[in-house]
Each structure stands twice: as C-alpha cells, then as structure tokens.
Chain A
Amino acid sequence: MSGVTQFRRKARIAISDIRLQGALEGATQKFRTGRTAALADLPDAGALRDHFKAIRQATIAQLADHLETFERNAQASGAQVHWAADGDEACRIITGIAQQHGVKLTTKSKSMTSEEIGLNDALADAGVEPVETDLGEWIVQLAGEPPSHIVGPALHKTRQQVAELLSKEAGKELDADDIPLLTAEARRMLRQKFLDAGLGISGANIGVAESGSIVLVTNEGNGRLVTSAPPVHIALMGIEKIAPTWDDAAVWLSLLARSATGQPLSVYTSVVTGPAKSDDIDGPQEVHIVLLDNGRSKLLNTPFEEVLQCIRCGACLNVCPVYRAAGGHSYGSHYSGPIGAVISPLLFGLEKHAALPQASTLCGACLDECPSRIDLPRMLLALRAEEVESGLIPLPERLLERAAARVMGNHRLLSAAGTGLRLGQIPLAQGETLNIPRRFNPAQDRRLPALPKKSFRQMWRDGDLDE
C-alpha cells in the first residue's frame, strides 16, 4: 500500500472514532487556550518571538562554530561528547556505553530524538531493558505504541485504557476513575526503577554552547531523576538544539513551556553541566552527550533549513485542523502534525512519507502559533512540488489535477464544466448545502455549499454585479 493510501486509511478510521475525536479535541483545546493565555501574560510576546526567530536563524547559519564551542565547554566540564552521523551510529554509541558499564536496566526521560532513532529497540537487542519514565511515554511503551503527540504522547488513551495497562503492570486491579491513584501507583512502580537503574538516558531540550550545559525540562521530575540517580547519564541531542548563550537559552525557555502547555516555565528545568564534581554529594560519575545529525546537516542552505529552528513545542499540532481530526498515529511517523509532515519526509525520505505534505489544508495556523515563526505552509508546498516532480502522487489524483488544469485554463471548458456540475449536484443538493455521501464524510461533520444557480461569470455578464 502506498504511503498516501495508508495515511488516508488511518485518518478515516481515526475520524470515525468518536472517542478519539473527543480526546483530540479536549487535549488540543486545552493546550491551545493555555498557550494563548500564557503568551498574553508576557509584556511583549510578539517581539520576543521575533527575537527568538532571529536567534535561531543566526545560530543555525553558524551551527558548526556553536557546536564546537559547545563541545569544548562540555568537555571542560568533564562531559564526554560523541558525534553520530545517523541513528544507527547513535544507537551503537549508547548501547556501547551501557554494555561497557554492565547496565541491565536504564531509565529514560521522554525524548522524541530517541524515538526517532529507535533507541529502545536497540537497547533491548543489546540486553538492556529501557524503561520510559514520563508517565505518558511509559503508557505508550506499555501499550507497544508510538507517541501520538510531541508533548502529550498518550493523549489518545482513555483512563480506562491507562488503568488496564497499569493494572497489568501492578498485578492488581486499579480503579480507572481514580486518576490520583493511577498516578501514585505509577510513582511507586517507577521509583524503584529509578533507584535500580545503572544508566539514565535523556534527550536535551537545549545545549548551551557558552557553558557546555544540557538543559532538560519536565513537569513530573523524571528528567531530574534520570540525570541524578544513576551513576551514568547519557543525553541524546539533535545538533540543531544549540543556544549560543544563556541569554539566548532564557528566551528559548520563556517560550518553550508557554507554547507547549501554557505554563510560564515547566515545573523543573534541569541544567546539567558535566558529571558530579569531586566534592558533590551525589550525581552521576559520567555524563555523555551524543550529538545526532541523522539528516539535519544536509538541510542547511536548502529551502528547508528553517525546520532546524524547531524546538518541538507541539503548538503547531494543537492548531492543525488535520492533526486535530486525524490524530498523531495516522502520520505513520513519530513526528506528527504540521512539523511532522515536513520533517518526516526530510529526515526519513519523501517516498516513505509521501502522504504527509498532502496532509494539510495550508490554512497557515501553524505559522501563526510557532514560537520560532517557522513557515511550515511554505515548506509543505515545496515538498508537494517535489512530489509532483518525482511522480509520487497517485495516478488518479494526477489525472484529476491534469484535467482540472486543462479545464481551468480554458474559459469554454470551464463554463461547460460549471453547467455540468450544476446539473450533477441536483441529487445531492439540499437547499444551500450539499449532502456529502457518508463514505466521504464518516463523522458527518463536513459541510460543502452547493454551487449557486448562477456562476460569477454569468452574474457579471447579466449585470447583476453593477451597483
């Protein structure tokens, strides 16, 4: 099955799933209103976003220099820096460190980058048990599913489904209506894992070049535990997540949580600058930072360079009419929503993700929301153009579009088509709207206006428009 049909099939199933629709609307709306209120509370959110965009743009243009500064300062703090050209290399480096320390159990704090490279499978293959510790990420891990949202990985799950998964893990029946109890049970079960783990693995929201620090934000505190309890900590970071200075990191932090969840700051911002110092009382003896390229560096100086400015806040997902209807899993990539529709083809191949650039109405809502003002609609269009050029559009659609171009380019054909459609719509028309067959409108929530009796051209000719 081609990628295009696969997306449509999954999206169709998602759209007819009333429960999922409710979950998506509830969650994304909560994020949306939170974000709007949090930005409104800032004295000058618009200017701050412009400033951030300028920082991100300049940083990416000079990424090599900033990465070298970052590496130098991280090493000076005692951290070990590794470079991985692709996901396989990053997995090899990380499993290698785990094996070298004889690690059997590793706790992980949520990292989209580690999802991107399939790190959990690589660890399991190497005989290391990875345990996700972000509650949402743990839930999807227990369910054997990928995350369905960058920020809320389990937002597609009901509390009944969560209770079922956690009950199995706890070996006792847990009441689905008691969310505090579910949370407390998760705390109890994961607490032991934190203390037993020989290795903590995290992502990195920001790498600050000026000090060689890794910055990690979490609300649950799992990021703190992963970087504090085990004797070894590995942080996996995409090479684009660099802030040159602490002033720049402050701008980043002040936009990240506000855009993601509507909080002024996440509950915990952890700044890790090397392993425990000799007179520190606790903390890891070793800190490793793995810098991951995996297709990022080749985007520099292309029409898609802008995606490297993304900070994975998820705001574009929450406003996207396609994400809100189709849900994260339809995208067939760990990155969903508008940003996923752009980076999945870029990082993992346009052929594999041919449907995604189509999965957009180009309404522009994502651009309005993005803290780095990334022009995703422009790039979606550019990817569509590439798809047409490389023949990735399904044949019926190509024929239809060719026909449409033909008709629209010729006024006689156009008015003939108009007459044809006016006649053709009669069986479907109901007053001013069209009855869309259920097959194309599974949730019965789509409306299409009927073609008016007269076309614009006809009205023009008849002088109806003269005033």
Chain B
Amino acid sequence: MNSRHKILNQLRSNGRAAETPGPWRSRRQFDDLAARFADALTAAKGECRRAGSLDDALDQLHQLLRELSAGKIVVNAEPPFIELDLPSRWPDFQWHTVGQSDGDLRAFCAAATVGLSGADAALAETGSVIVSSGPGRSRLATLLPEIHLALVPTSSLTADIFTWTAGRQGVLPANQIIVSGPSKTGDIEQTMAIGVHGPKRFIVILYDEG
C-alpha cells in the first residue's frame, strides 16, 4: 500500500461527519476606505500618496521618480500602464517594459531602482495591495528592485480580506501576492529593520478615476 493510501485510509477510518461553518462575513465598516487604507499602510511602514486623477497620479509619479533619481525602472505591462507608454513620455530613465523590452528581465529587475505595478485589489483594513502574475506581469518586477511603486485606483479598494475573498471570481493566477508594506525583519534583537529581501520601500499612489 503506498503512503497516499495509508494516510487517507488512516484519516478516513478515524474521521467523522462534521459540518464546516459557513463563511465569516466581514464586520468592518469604514466610512472612508481610502483614508483607512492610507493609515494602515503608513502604520506598516509603507507610504501612501493620494491623487485626484490618473493625470495627477502620473505627475506625482514623475516627480517621485526624479526625486529618487531612479536609474532603471521596470514596469509591468498592465493597467494603468498599458496605454501610457511611459518610456517614450519620460525618456530620461532607463526602462524595461515586461514582455515587450528586449534584454534579460531578471538581470534588469535585480539592478532596478523601481518596479512599477498596478493592483488587482486593495484592502483598506490592512493597507494591502494585491498583485498577480500573468502575461505582462512579472513577479520579479515587484520583488527585486529597491522600491515597489504601485498605482492603485480607489475603485479597487475593498474593506478587508473577507470582502475580498467573498467577491473573488475566476481562476487564480499561478502567483498572487498580498503586499502589506516594505520588506522587514525583527530577527536581530527584535529591532525592526526594513528591506531584507524584498523592496526597501513600498509606495502606493492611490488615485481617483474619472
């Protein structure tokens, strides 16, 4: 008998009927999802900037990239970046557009200052942004650079993880990440240190559409 059968048989012969409780429904009510998101992200040592429109968000982004003297920037080919063609708009930086630029993506990401992404959803309660893998969406682009910068429309905000799972639809991507701040550790004398393996800064520009 192989291990699979052995384990399942053992579990089955000692198991019993049981009713799993129904889903837990969110008990969160935030008057202002965006405000809660910004507070929670800030508490987790992330940074949140608010923008009144996508254009405003792009202005802030451009300003920020200049302040950071970003050299290499990798950008996921996903909303809101797809139509924007930032590399031709801001040719002062060195760009890699995922799935479109030539050259080694991994090496570029490892040397990049900034990784730009959009978001599938954002959780107000915890200040989290949800990012998926897929065509044009690199996992390493939001992981290897020094800074992960996400442009997130307020329409993607939901109250918490419960409202998010309740509204989730379709097949899961191979890789999905809930990001709640910059990489950190407390492993040396419980002293918080930022930027161990992942990005040292996590900046969200939260913008209103329309």
Contact = CB atoms under 8 A, between A and B. Distances in A.
A379 B92 CA distance: 66
Given A27-B190, A228-B140, A267 B181 contact: yes
A449 interface: no
B29 to A, nearest CB: 8
B188 A62 contact: no
B162 A247 contact: yes
Contacts of B28: 43
Contact of B174 (A183, A273, A297): A273
Given A264-B40, A268-B179, A139 B10 contact: no
Contacts of A250: 24, 161-162, 164-165
Interface stretch (B12-20, B49-57, B58-66, B82-90): B12-20
Given A219-B183, A228-B140, A280-B134, A249 B165 contact: yes
A236 B181 CA distance: 26
A295 to B, nearest CB: 11
B133 to A, nearest CB: 5
A64 B8 contact: yes
B20 A194 contact: no
A272 B181 CA distance: 20
A61 B180 contact: no
A227 B175 contact: yes
Interface in B10-38: 10-12, 14-21, 23-24, 27-28
Interface string B169-185: 00011111111111111
B16 A30 contact: no
B168 A246 contact: yes
B14 to A, nearest CB: 4
Contacts of A227: 175
Interface string A289-323: 00101000110110000000000000000000000
Given A48-B24, A85-B3, A220-B196, A64 B177 contact: no
A67 B8 CA distance: 8
Interface stretch (A52-60, A97-105, A329-337, A357-365): A52-60
Contacts of B199: 221
A251 B183 CA distance: 23
B15 A187 contact: no
Interface in A43-74: 43-44, 48, 51, 54-55, 57-59, 61-65, 67-68
Contacts of B180: 263-269
B126 A264 contact: yes
Contacts of B68: none
Contact of A135 (B8, B12, B187): B187
A235 to B, nearest CB: 13
A370 B178 CA distance: 24
Interface residues of B, number: 75
Nearest to A84: B3
A44 B133 CA distance: 34
Contacts of B143: 221, 224-225, 228
Given A184-B195, A279-B135, A301-B16, A219 B3 contact: no
A435 interface: no
A425 B76 CA distance: 76
B18 A297 contact: no
A450 interface: no
A58 B20 contact: yes
Contacts of A213: 172
A247 B165 contact: yes
A9 interface: no
A59 B27 contact: no
A70 B2 CA distance: 18
Given A187-B197, A222-B197, A63 B165 contact: no
Nearest to B20: A58
Nearest to B77: A281
B188 A135 contact: yes
B193 A281 contact: no
B158 to A, nearest CB: 12
B181 to A, nearest CB: 5
Contact of A277 (B134, B162, B178, B181): B134
Nearest to A221: B198
A271 B196 contact: no
B186 A55 contact: no
26 contacts: A30-B186, A58-B20, A61-B16, A63-B15, A65-B15, A77-B172, A183-B194, A213-B172, A220-B183, A220-B196, A220-B198, A222-B197, A247-B165, A247-B166, A264-B180, A268-B178, A268-B198, A270-B175, A273-B173, A275-B174, A280-B134, A281-B139, A293-B10, A297-B7, A300-B10, A301-B16
Given A268-B179, A300-B15, 17 more contacts: A23-B189, A30-B190, A44-B27, A55-B21, A162-B189, A179-B189, A211-B172, A219-B196, A220-B184, A224-B143, A225-B197, A251-B24, A265-B123, A266-B180, A273-B176, A281-B138, A293-B3
